[in-house]
Amino acid sequence: MTKPFVLKEYIFTFIFWLVLTIVLWCNFQTETDKYLAIVQAIIISVSSFTFTHFLTSKLLPKALREKKMKQFLVQTVMVIFILSAIFSVIFTYLEAAPKHQLPPDFKDHLPFLWRGFYMSLPASFLINGSACGIKFYKEHGRIERDHILLQQAHLENQLKLLQDQINPHVVFNILNHIHILMKRDTELADFLLMKFSDILRYQLYHCNQNLVPLDKEIEYLQNLIEVEKLRWGNELNVQSTLEISNNKAFIAPLLLIPFIENAFKYVCRLPGQIGYVKIFCKEENSNLFFYIENSYSDIAIHKKKDGGIGLQNVQKRLKLQYPEAYDLKIETDNLVYKVNLTLKLSEKNEQ
């Protein structure tokens, strides 16, 4: 809680009890001496503040934390009765006694005390009820804020964990490709190393944000696709179309990588045939349309159960970062694996 907020709360509390004291004094002075009215108003205000402060600052927060509201209700009733008893004593001995309205025997004072207690219950209930209502509203708001902050922190940790799963996997694949090419084609390995430098630069300096410019992400995808094309060579037919028209659009970093990785990892090349991967990505009116298709075989899937972040990663990220703002369809049909994703993009970078 910040200092200005605490100062405002203290000022509000002081003004509240000061106004209550003035109102009580104005009410009492109509029927009794002005100085006696001041004493009555001060005693009532001080006793009310003491009990309500203990009730709202100690008992209520504890009851909310431990979820013991029934116990708190009992404590509230007890405080109301105690405060009413104090009011009764004040009204009886500071107002009735000076006017010689009390009988000489103390036992005969009980009807006056009971009457004062009975008449004080509404005032005590009103004072404590108002204080508890204000405090409950503030505590409930604080708990809601803490809950939202906790959810946000949990969400950020989940997203960071999922994103950290992606980066090492992509880096490992590219380094492995370069290692193989260095033994047979140094020029091509040098070219891939430059591509890897661009990819690594993007991952290091841009992917630590919640959202990144869509054009940067598309450039990153193009580099990865180019690496895969060079790695597969004539063994695989790769067709890619990546189009964007809005330079102000933003997207979660590395969100589409799992689809591309899986397409190249599980692509099937039947005997006498060349496997293929088709990638289409287009942005229009802040909507992203992503489609990827590859030749598919159950045998290839069973042979490659190890490694990879899989589709579970990207599905979790979509639920966390784009709730009710995406449509994902994954299907297999006639040895073809298809992924169709429609995504509502943001036009500002939300840090």
The distance from CA 132 to its chain's CA centroid, rounded to whole angstroms, is: 28
Minimum mean pLDDT range among 30-34, 67-71, 128-132, 276-280? 30-34
Tell me how far apart the alpha carbons of residues 263 and 122 are, in angstroms, rounded to a whole number: 74
175-209: pLDDT as tens digits? 887 888 788 888 888 888 888 788 778 877 777 77
- Considering the four listed CATH numbers 1.10.10.10, 3.30.565.10, 3.30.365.10, 2.60.40.1170, the one that applies to the domain covering 182-344 is 3.30.565.10
Local confidence band at 343 (pLDDT 50, 70, 90 cut-offs)? very high
- Closest by CA to 162, choosing from 312, 329, 305, is 312
Q: For residue 87, is pLDDT > 90? A: no
Q: Where are the domains of the chain?
A: 3-145, 182-344
∠ CA 129-131-136, nearest 5°, is: 90
The pLDDT assigned to 182 comes to 82
The pLDDT assigned to 308 comes to 43
**At 350, is the secondary structure helix, strand, or coil?**
coil
Tell me how far apart the alpha carbons of residues 92 and 98 are, in angstroms, rounded to a whole number: 9
Please enumerate in sequence order all residues whose Cβ is within 8 A of that of 132, keeping only pairs 6 or more positions apart, or say none. Answer: 52, 55, 56, 60, 76
The pLDDT assigned to 54 comes to 83
How many beta carbons lie within 10 A of that of residue 232, not counting itself? 18
On whether the pTM is more than 0.95, the answer is no
Local confidence band at 288 (pLDDT 50, 70, 90 cut-offs)? very high
Q: For residue 322, is pLDDT > 70? A: yes
Dig out the tokens for 107 from the structure. Answer: 């036992």
**For residue 63, what are the CA distances in angstroms to 52, 69, 141, 186, 298?**
15, 6, 15, 71, 58
Looking at every residue in the chain, the average pLDDT score rounds to 77
The pLDDT assigned to 306 comes to 47
The pLDDT assigned to 160 comes to 66
**For residue 201, what are the CA distances in angstroms to 41, 223, 242, 264?**
72, 12, 21, 23
Local confidence band at 45 (pLDDT 50, 70, 90 cut-offs)? confident
Tell me how far apart the alpha carbons of residues 192 and 184 are, in angstroms, rounded to a whole number: 13
Please enumerate in sequence order all residues whose Cβ is within 8 A of that of 107, keeping only pairs 6 or more positions apart, or say none. Answer: none
Q: For residue 339, is pLDDT > 90? A: yes
